[in-house]
């Protein structure tokens, strides 16, 4: 009878010990778990940085296009003023001169508009490149952070296997 009671006590103690050990292992963050949390944080930070740089690049591109639009409108307004002088001409000579001035002004306006758009397109292209570089760097940083976490998890599995 005493033997059975002792066996039950030992079994109960072993069971309690097993439960408390399992509970302690599951509640205490492992090195691998900490590494994964750190990796997740680093990945979020890398993506946030990329998103910020992409937003800045888009803002730069938008400003460049707005500036180009202003330059184009100003150039066209100058050409339109010259064209309006043709309407005021009273002699064929004045009309001919005004027409020539208007044609030159329109050609000049077209060049200014083209140049402004080329400049805006270049800035938009540069902004897109900046955004792509920022995203590529974020992707690289995220992969490196995840690799570090995976290595810690693998090292922890190796250590656990050695202890068995």
Q: Give 13-47 pLDDT, tens digit per residue.
A: 545 444 444 444 444 468 888 989 998 999 999 89
Secondary-structure percent of the chain, ordered helix, strand, coil, rounded to 5:
95, 0, 5
Within-domain flag for 20: no
* Nearest to 99, CA basis, from 81, 86, 110: 86
Within-domain flag for 16: no
> How many whole angstroms from its chain centre is CA 11?
58
Within-domain flag for 49: yes
First to last CA, the chain: 35
Q: Find out whether 134 and 53 touch, Cβ atoms under 8 Å.
A: yes
Domain around 42: 30-163
Number of residues assigned to the chain: 164
Within-domain flag for 15: no
Within-domain flag for 136: yes
Q: Find out whether 102 and 85 touch, Cβ atoms under 8 Å.
A: yes
* Nearest to 154, CA basis, from 36, 23, 28, 38: 36
Using a pLDDT cut of 70, give the percent of the chain over it: 82
Q: Give 131-146 pLDDT, tens digit per residue.
A: 999 999 999 999 999 9
Q: Give 70-94 pLDDT, tens digit per residue.
A: 999 998 998 898 888 888 888 899 8
Within-domain flag for 40: yes
Using a pLDDT cut of 90, give the percent of the chain over it: 56
Sign of CA dihedral 144, 150, 156, 161: negative
* Nearest to 54, CA basis, from 143, 133, 140, 142: 133
Within-domain flag for 14: no
Within-domain flag for 124: yes
How many domains is the chain built from? 1
Q: Find out whether 65 and 118 touch, Cβ atoms under 8 Å.
A: no
């Amino acid at each position: 009878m005493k033997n059975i009671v002792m066996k039950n006590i030992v079994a109960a103690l072993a069971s309690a010990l097993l439960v408390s050990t399992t509970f302690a292992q599951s509640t205490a963050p492992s090195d691998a778990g900490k590494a994964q949390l750190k990796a997740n944080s680093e990945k979020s930070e890398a993506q946030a940085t990329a998103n910020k740089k992409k937003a800045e690049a888009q803002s730069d591109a938008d400003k460049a296009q707005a500036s180009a639009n202003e330059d184009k409108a100003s150039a066209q307004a100058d050409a339109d003023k010259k064209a309006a002088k043709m309407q005021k001409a009273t002699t064929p000579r004045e009309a001919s001169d005004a027409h020539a001035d208007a044609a030159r002004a329109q050609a000049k306006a077209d060049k200014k508009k083209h140049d402004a758009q080329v400049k805006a397109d270049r800035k938009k292209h540069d902004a897109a490149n900046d955004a792509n570089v920022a995203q590529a760097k974020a992707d690289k940083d995220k992969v490196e952070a995840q690799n570090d976490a995976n290595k810690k998890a693998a090292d922890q599995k190796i250590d656990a296997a050695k202890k068995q």
